[in-house]
Structure 1
């Protein structure tokens, strides 16, 4: 399955996202679309999975992300956000395939992301990310994970 860059049609991906995610990205997309790319997998004509790669700071950053983001952007890391697999396509490892396809297409690119559910940590670690920072807010825990390609691969 090949990674598809939706280009100017990025909004078509938002339809599969949970409603609260749609509200976040729809409201700011015009401000971010020139510094972000939506990549998806399609099953026939239907989007089955996807995510957004931001070349700048992502929208709606938390205080924890605000403390950290500058060092990653300065080091040319891209932010992975809104990674989602449509519920009809769950259980087929599409999230892992999406990450692998992205890393294969851009083999020298480093990435960072934030998770708010600790259960996702093992998923990202299995896909080559490592946890580098944990928020101090016990009520709203967050973790920053990074991926850096191996040099000389």
Structure 2
């Protein structure tokens, strides 16, 4: 599938997001869209999967992310957020294909992201991401994952 950059307009992507995700990003998109890109997969009818790549701190950061984000931005990592596959198209490896297409399109780019569901850990590890940090909050655990392309060295990790 071809990775399509939606440019500054996110409305068509936001429509496939769960309501709580939509509430977070729609209200702040005008503040973030100059430092972010939405990349999607589309078929003839629908956006099937997509995500947002932020070149700065993402919106709605937790205390854990606030303590970490500056070192990633300073090292030119981009944040992957709101990665979502429309439920009608699940089970077709579109999340993995989206990550692969993004890494192929930007082969020298490093990424970071946060998960709040440990069940996603194996998905990101399978896609070349490495867990580099875990929050100390036992009630609301979070994990930071990074991806660094081969040949790119990040001495601070």
After TM superposition, the score normalised by the length of structure 2 is 0.95
Structure 2: segments with no counterpart, 5+ residues: 153-157
Counterpart CA distance in 1 for 2:118 and 2:9 is 32
1:91 and 2:91 are equivalent in the alignment: yes
Q: Displacement, 1:117? A: 0.1
Structure 1: segments with no counterpart, 5+ residues: none
Q: Displacement, 1:88? A: 0.2
Counterpart CA distance in 2 for 1:134 and 1:56 is 21
Residue 133 of structure 2 corresponds to which residue in structure 1?
A: 133
More helix by share: 1
Q: Displacement, 1:97? A: 0.1
Q: Displacement, 1:103? A: 0.0
After TM superposition, the score normalised by the length of structure 1 is 0.98
1:26 and 2:33 are equivalent in the alignment: no
Counterpart CA distance in 2 for 1:53 and 1:70 is 16
Counterpart CA distance in 1 for 2:101 and 2:11 is 21
Residue 111 of structure 2 corresponds to which residue in structure 1?
A: 111
Residue 155 of structure 2 corresponds to which residue in structure 1?
A: none
State the number of aligned residues: 152
1:70 and 2:70 are equivalent in the alignment: yes
Q: Displacement, 1:12? A: 1.2
Structure 1: 4+ residue segments shifted above 6 A: none
Q: Displacement, 1:8? A: 2.4
Residue 41 of structure 2 corresponds to which residue in structure 1?
A: 41
